[in-house]
Amino acid sequence: MNRRSPRRTLFLTLLSLALPAAQAQKATTVRIGYFPNLTHAPALVALERGDFAKAFGKVSLQTKDFPSGTQLSEAFAAGTLDIGYVGPGPAINAVAKGLPVQIIAGASNAGAVLIARKGVSIASFKDLAGKKVAVPSLGNTQDISLRHILKEQGLKSQVDGGNVSIIPVAPADVAAAFSNKGLDAALVPEPWGALLEAQGNKLVLDEKAVWRGGNYPSALVIVNTQFAADNPQLVAAFVKAHLNAVNFILKNPPAAQTAIASQLFKLTGQKVNALVLQRALSHTRISADLDLDALKEYADLNREAGYAREVPDLSKAVNLSYLNAAKAGK
């Protein structure tokens, strides 16, 4: 009778466990999308520090910055992104449209403010009547938030029969539009609100006035479900790097601000000084956690805004197993 030695048996057992993991990793490149906003600070810090590249090892990294979640969602629909940082609005719309994506982590909460152009009399949301207000894009998180705010104030956008003009403008371009008097106000993510304020424009209402006292997700992480199924190790490596970046921001604010400012300058050509960045961070809460109740409420606002006919089943769209494993040190 041919018996295996204990050592050989152990070797074959370990080999059988290792082979499926090795076979599961099919990608040679990981493609990540994000925005040049403070709400996407974990991505900015991880890129500046090289955390993603280190996590993926020999697998190459491709990154692309987007001006809005609408365009990032289009990239997912076209199959040109694997992982992305995006606001809850576009993420929920992607799920509602049947795109193969899952939400795997949070990135930030709050972080959007209402800024009025210098010389324009706006003291509250009600004063937006008859005004031209910028949001990063139609259907994005700030747009959905603004439409809900208008409804609460008894106002409507022009396309809905009201007198508030909602205009899509990339946050980095709002300052120029203010200078040309093409806009009266803007609901923008940080640090663009703090930058506009530093240029003499008026902070009308901070992040707490936008919705839920500031306790709402402003950026999430989504992954292509097929990519995750084929490359679970790479997704786990990404989430670990993402969580490391979040913890770095929370534990080392000065170094994190330097990294964020460096990435913002590389992406937009605009310098953000330390005081402006500190002010912007005071309106933004960086976190990998995800408030599912807030996300479900946001799905209702998305339907209310007319961007979805129904609220998708978010229990199937959210997969926090990678995040929980990373927190447990697995």
Q: What is the pLDDT of residue 317?
A: 92
Quick one: three-class SS letters along 118-173? Answer: CCCCCCCHHHHCCCEEEECCCCCHHHHHHHHHHHHCCCCEHHHCCCEEEEECCHHH
As a whole number, mean pLDDT of residues 150-178 equals: 95
At 263-316, the pLDDT tens digits run 999 999 989 999 999 999 999 999 999 999 999 988 898 888 888 788 888 888
Which element (helix H / strand E) includes 257? Answer: helix 253-268
pLDDT at position 78 over 50: yes
pLDDT of residue 131: 98
Q: Could you give the number of structural domains in the chain?
A: 2
**Based on the domain organization, do 30 and 78 belong to the same domain?**
yes
> Is 238 within a domain?
yes
Spatial distance between the Cα atoms of 323 and 305, rounded to a whole number of angstroms: 31
Specify the 3-state DSSP secondary structure of 99: coil
Domain assignment of residue 6, yes or no: no
Residues 6+ apart with CB under 8 A from 110: 207, 208, 210, 214, 215, 216, 218, 283, 284, 285
CA geometry: angle 321, 327, 330, nearest 5 deg: 75
Domain presence at residue 73: yes
Give the rounded percent of residues in the chain with a pLDDT score beyond 90: 77
Question: Of 192, 214, 236, which one is at a domain's C-terminal end?
Answer: 214
Q: pLDDT tens-digit profile of 213-254?
A: 889 999 999 999 999 999 999 999 999 999 999 999 999 999
Residues 222 and 203 in one domain: no
DSSP state of 199: T
Q: Which residues pair with 84 in a beta bridge?
A: 33, 222
| 279 and 165 belong to one structural domain | no
- Residue 8: its pLDDT value, please? 47
Q: Is residue 7 part of a domain?
A: no
Contact residues for 13 (Cβ-Cβ < 8 A; gap 6+): none
Q: Based on the fold, state whether residues 77 and 123 are members of the same structural domain.
A: no
Instruction: Find the mean pLDDT for residues 27-52.
Output: 96
Instruction: Give a yes or no: residue 12 inside a domain.
Output: no
Q: What is the pLDDT of residue 26?
A: 86
CB hemisphere CA count around 183 (13 angstroms):
27
**Rounded to two decimals, what is the model's pTM?**
0.86
Instruction: Pick the range with the lowest mean pLDDT from 7-16, 47-56, 178-187.
Output: 7-16
* Tokens 């980095």 belong to residue: 172
Reported as a pLDDT band with limits 50, 70 and 90, residue 25 is low
Containing H/E element for 219?
strand 217-224
What is d(CA 74, CA 128) in angstroms, rounded to the nearest whole number?
A: 30
Name the band, by pLDDT with cuts 50, 70 and 90, for residue 141: confident
Query: What gap in Å lies between CA 189 and CA 112, rounded to an integer?
Result: 4
- Considering the domain boundaries, does residue 4 fall inside one? no
- Predicted confidence at residue 13, as pLDDT, reads 41
Is residue 5, in this structure, part of any structural domain at all? Answer: no
CATH of the domain at 146: 3.40.190.10
Its domain, for residue 90, covers 25-110+216-327
What is the pLDDT at residue 279?
94
Quote the pLDDT of residue 308: 79
Asked if residue 151 has pLDDT above 90, the reply is yes
Mean pLDDT of the chain: 90
Q: What is the pLDDT of residue 21?
A: 40
Q: Band of the pLDDT at 20, cuts 50, 70, 90?
A: very low
